[in-house]
Amino acid sequence: MARLTHQDWLERAARLRPVTVHHIDGADHPGSGETFPVIAPRDGTVLAQAPRAGQEEVDVAVAAARRAFDTGPWPRLAPAERGRALLRFADTIEAHREELALTIALEMGKPITEAYDIELRAVAATFRWYGEMADKLIDEVPQTPADALALVTREPVGVVAAVVPWNFPLTMAAWKVAPALAAGCTVVLKPAEQSPLSALRLGRLATEAGLPPGAFNVVAGEGPAAGRALGLHPDVDVLAFTGSTAVGRHFLRYAADSNLKRVWLELGGKSPHIVLPDADLSAAAASAAWGIFFNQGEMCTAPSRLLVHTSIADELVAAVVERARALRIGDPLDPDTTMGALVGAAHLARVEDHIARAHAAGARLRTGGARLDRPGHFLEPTVFDRVTPDMPLAREEVFGPVLAVLTFDTEDEAVQLANATEYGLAAGVWTTDLSAAHRISRAVRAGTVWVNCYEEGGLNVPFGGVKQSGHGRDKSLHALDKYTDLKTTWIRL
Ligand code: NAD
């Protein structure tokens, strides 16, 4: 397909009619009529009025998922059949790639090229990957005395509620929904209030692709209402959450206050990017800049702390600053845009507050730091050096395009700095010394360590955090552990 131009995308945006109903039990569900506005970060206009689920809609959606699990076909299908349904779902997503990518760029402000080339590819690939492996799981027959037979079988846990953030609205959803469905669970998805439109469309597409009623339900609504109702619901067996560490704490409380449902948490980060003096500096600078500015810095894994050896700090930071200045900030619907708009006015104000506090703490601004004088929520890519470990910018997640540069003199100091946060999601190490790479990747407490690269990998490797970045893993076969229980059957022969 010829690449669409800015004008093509603008015309498509003008024609887009977002889905503004919940999707429950295989059908549109208008809800109570209460709504909330979805604001386009590119210009601050109202894109649509999304349906606002409260307790009542959440009850209806959970009841549909419960029925579909207890008596419906989905968990009872032969695994290969479930797999084929997920492959059809992946095909349907691919067939609607343009519309879904456009919806995401409009609702959360990322560049259309990234929504289309990166996010939508990942979403279809995730449903395909779990569809393909649905019938390839092998259970266990442990060794037993001669007069007994033991079976250890994986069983679907039941009704899964997935509550997800706005930064990768459909990828974060797919990482939970696809393995849960592959395992034979039924699902209620609640997208973030900033980005409900792509998820509501995804719900309809699941039914169009032939998933049975109730297998996959989507309700839009606000966190403290719809999200809380799911967290407290007695008929939800597992709550899979991606979002901030603060809200993760709420979900643990909801579980304790209700049915002790299992809660899986994928939370925030303040990831270190360590550069040793022997590294390929040009590649390290490119990776550091790309890592922190990709997706407007609204990345849980963003390498927001650049830890650099004192001897190469000037050279490396100058190269990162040059790359920051070369970014094209602009309309997310322009295919030439490399940095779009931050998700909303409140979020932009929070990021600006981080910048103000970095100034006040004595960090040195090397580039950026200001919002753009135009409609929408645009911020310059920002780099601070002379950041010290006690400053808020060295410890707090910004979730925006703001890089903190800290320096070290020894490998031990680098590791100590890397571990000096409450988070443990990801880390990067740049060195040509294989032993140093191994030593550091063992010593840094993180769910993923990238060596001489950043943000790479495939669906076959697990993703998740340690410490207050969460627990449990998305992606790979390990994700199935969250959505299956082990049953032991011991048979006396
Ligand atoms: P958030 O925690 O504010 O919201 C996430 C979801 O929780 C949304 O659906 C929201 O409606 C819901 N929610 C909010 N308050 C709630 C409440 N009181 N009760 C129940 N539900 C509630 O996060 P966000 O702003 O959407 O996303 C940014 C955060 O997500 C960052 O901290 C980022 O690091 C994290 N994140 C983590 C990962 C990961 O895989 N570890 C991936 C992406 C984003």
Give the tens place of pLDDT for each residue, 223-273: 999 999 999 999 999 999 999 999 999 999 999 999 999 999 999 999 999
Nearest CA to ligand 1 atom 43: 300
pTM, to two decimals: 0.98
Query: 300, 352, 380, 397: which is the annotated catalytic residue?
Result: 300
Token reading at 485: 């229980």
Ligand 1 mutation pick, 108, 232, 247, max ligand atoms within 8 A of CB: 247
Q: How many CB atoms lie within 10 A of CB 374?
A: 13
d(CA 252, CA 264): 9
Q: What is the mean pLDDT of residues 44-48?
A: 98
Q: How far is the CA of 422 from the centre of ligand 1 (A)?
A: 17
Give the pairing of strands 364-367 and 305-309: unpaired
d(CA 153, CA 485): 8
- Ligand 1 pocket (Cβ < 6 Å) reads 163-167, 172, 190, 192-193, 222-224, 227-228, 231, 242-244, 247, 250, 266-269, 300, 397, 399, 425, 465, 469-470
Does residue 256 lie within any of the structural domains? yes
Where do runs of H (alpha helix) occur along 134-227? 169-182, 196-208
Q: Is 380 annotated as catalytic?
A: no
Are 120 and 160 part of one and the same domain? yes
Are 300 and 246 part of one and the same domain? no
Are 187 and 207 part of one and the same domain? yes
Token reading at 321: 């600053």
> pLDDT, tens digit, for every residue of 154-164?
999 999 999 99
| Among the listed residues 90, 58, 129, 96, the one whose alpha carbon sits nearest the alpha carbon of residue 197 | 96
In the chain, pLDDT over 70 holds for what percent of residues?
A: 100
d(CA 410, CA 407): 10
C-alpha distance from residue 117 to each of 33, 127, 230, 468 (Å):
35, 16, 32, 31
> pLDDT, tens digit, for every residue of 306-321?
999 999 999 999 999 9
Are 240 and 301 part of one and the same domain? no
CATH number of the domain to which 116 belongs:
3.40.605.10
Does residue 397 lie within any of the structural domains? yes
d(CA 23, CA 61): 8
Are 149 and 289 part of one and the same domain? no
Q: What is the mean pLDDT of residues 481-488?
A: 98
CATH number of the domain to which 312 belongs:
3.40.309.10
Q: What angle do CA 176, 105, 41 make, to 5 degrees?
A: 110
Q: How far is the CA of 331 from the centre of ligand 1 (A)?
A: 25
The three-class DSSP label of residue 381 is coil
Are 235 and 278 part of one and the same domain? no
C-alpha distance from residue 300 to each of 100, 330, 393 (Å):
22, 23, 15
Q: How far is the CA of 191 from the centre of ligand 1 (A)?
A: 10
d(CA 322, CA 315): 11
Does residue 431 lie within any of the structural domains? yes
Q: How many helices (H) and strands (E) does the chain have?
A: 17, 18
pLDDT at site 1 = 56
Q: How far is the CA of 9 from the centre of ligand 1 (A)?
A: 29
Confidence of residue 2 (pLDDT cuts 50, 70, 90): confident
Ligand 1 mutation pick, 222, 251, 263, 300, max ligand atoms within 8 A of CB: 300
pLDDT at 277 over 80: yes
Are 216 and 300 part of one and the same domain? no
Q: Is 453 annotated as catalytic?
A: no
Are 380 and 249 part of one and the same domain? no
- Phi and psi angles of residue 29, each rounded to the nearest 5 degrees, phi first: -135, 115
Are 439 and 399 part of one and the same domain? yes
Are 293 and 174 part of one and the same domain? no
d(CA 340, CA 342): 7
Are 309 and 338 part of one and the same domain? yes
Are 152 and 231 part of one and the same domain? yes
* Cβ proximity of 414 and 289 under 8 Å: no
Q: What angle do CA 10, 14, 20 make, to 5 degrees?
A: 125
- Residues facing 22 on adjacent strands: 29
Where do runs of H (alpha helix) occur along 332-454? 345-361, 392-395, 411-418, 434-443
Count structural domains, the chain. Answer: 2
Buried b (16+ CB within 10 A) or exposed e, 47-59: bbebbbbbeebbe
d(CA 416, CA 386): 17
Does residue 1 lie within any of the structural domains? no
Does residue 78 lie within any of the structural domains? yes
| Among the listed residues 468, 464, 418, the one whose alpha carbon sits nearest the alpha carbon of residue 439 | 418
Q: How far is the CA of 163 from the centre of ligand 1 (A)?
A: 8
Q: What is the mean pLDDT of residues 104-118?
A: 98
Q: Which atom of ligand 1 is nearest to the CA of 192?
A: 9
Q: Which atom of ligand 1 is nearest to the CA of 469?
A: 41
| Among the listed residues 317, 256, 269, 262, the one whose alpha carbon sits nearest the alpha carbon of residue 297 | 269
| Residue 395: half-sphere exposure toward Cβ, Cα within 13 Å | 10
Does residue 138 lie within any of the structural domains? yes
Ligand 1 mutation pick, 36, 167, 455, max ligand atoms within 8 A of CB: 167
d(CA 178, CA 129): 9
Query: 99, 266, 380, 397: which is the annotated catalytic residue?
Result: 266
> pLDDT, tens digit, for every residue of 421-446?
999 999 999 999 999 999 999 999 99
Does residue 117 lie within any of the structural domains? yes
Place of tokens 């809660």: 263
Q: How far is the CA of 231 from the centre of ligand 1 (A)?
A: 13
Q: Which range of residues forms the domain containing residue 189?
A: 6-267+468-490
Does residue 203 lie within any of the structural domains? yes
Q: Which atom of ligand 1 is nearest to the CA of 399?
A: 31
- Phi and psi angles of residue 365, each rounded to the nearest 5 degrees, phi first: -75, 125
Helices 196-208 and 97-108 sit at what angle, rounded to 10 degrees? Answer: 160
